[in-house]
Structure 1
Amino acid sequence: MQLIQRNPDLSAYLAADEAIDHHHPLVRETAARLRPPEGGAYAYARAAFEFVRDEIPHSCDTGDQRVTWRASDVIGRRTGICYAKAHALAALLRAESIPAALCYQEFDVVHGLVAVRLPDRDRWDRQDPRGNKPGVDAQFSLDDERLAFAPEPLFGERDHPVLFEAPHPAVLRALRAAPDLDHLVRTLPTALH
């Protein structure tokens, strides 16, 4: 699939905003802790991915009713759905000057991913920090995508090709409006408009 960089300015994918608050001290401390002594951008990106995937449980897997959406809250509270976990990963990557985009898949609801652009590569590579469980085996990979889910076009499912520099407004609206996980699950976006 051809990914489409929505903003032609690569620096937009390094910016901080309200959700991807990579200037926050907790995000910075976490990034510093994850930074391998040697290994460069690839080793760091993989460590950040594995941290978010493995150390921050997906709220729907645990039943945690707290709704997080700001990267620092996701990291601090150690919970979030796919969008929130994508915000956390994007913030950790951007904290180390690695461009990170938000991207999505459309199933019965929209699923959130991250695309990373490592310095020695001339392309974006999608990663899915959702969290593994039986039947889900997402891995950090640059050459062969190892995402949590593969869309089935026969059922109207699809990969959304656009790489966003900030969370999609429909995603942020749902996260901000939800007082708890049960409400959020009922109001997740079903498409990106």
Structure 2
Amino acid sequence: MSPHSPSRPHTTAPLPFDPRFLGEPEATPSMGAEATAPARRRGLLDLEAQFAFFRSQHRHPVNAAAHALLTWPILFTNLLILHFLPLPSPVDPALALALAYAAAYLAVDRRAGALAGLLFVAAWAASRALAARLGFGASWRLVLATQLFCWPWQFLGHGLFEVFLMEPFLIFLQILNKLFGYEPYPGFCKNVDKKVEALLRESRELEQRKTT
């Protein structure tokens, strides 16, 4: 490297550059695990970017535990109250919501998405049975108490769209990874680790610029 080359932040062990993080064209791997990765996805379907951002924002164990414990109860009580909407009998908004979530998760990963979709269908069946048992009055009080308790934690540093749609699946994916070493395709976790480091490095540099 020329002595006049632009200076770079000093690190003892620089991470390999991941062009996908910046949305640039990625070199085609010649061999190895990353060669089996699916085609590059963007936006909401970019599971690597979604999971990397999720992990970078949930590094504290208390924060991660709060989201893991409180996100799914919110969704379950959403299904519960939908059973009481005054709609024609063939229409089931709770089932429609559960299937919409299942379809979204299948779009980003077929195996974990299928399992998460089954959990949503099971949650729909359980909420339907609970709604029939409790009736509207008791169900509404349960929903209100759950939502008032859980939402303040969910909004702490997060936007509504990220929490409401993708966070349940990202939490589920993290549990599968921690307990069983699951990854949607070989090299997924390695790429996510690179993106997490890049996000954290960018955040640290931004904080340094603010203090100088």
TM range (shorter): under 0.3
Q: Of Structure 1 and Structure 2, which has the larger fraction of its residues in helix?
A: 2
Q: Of Structure 1 and Structure 2, which has the larger fraction of its residues in strand?
A: 1
TM-score (norm 1): 0.24
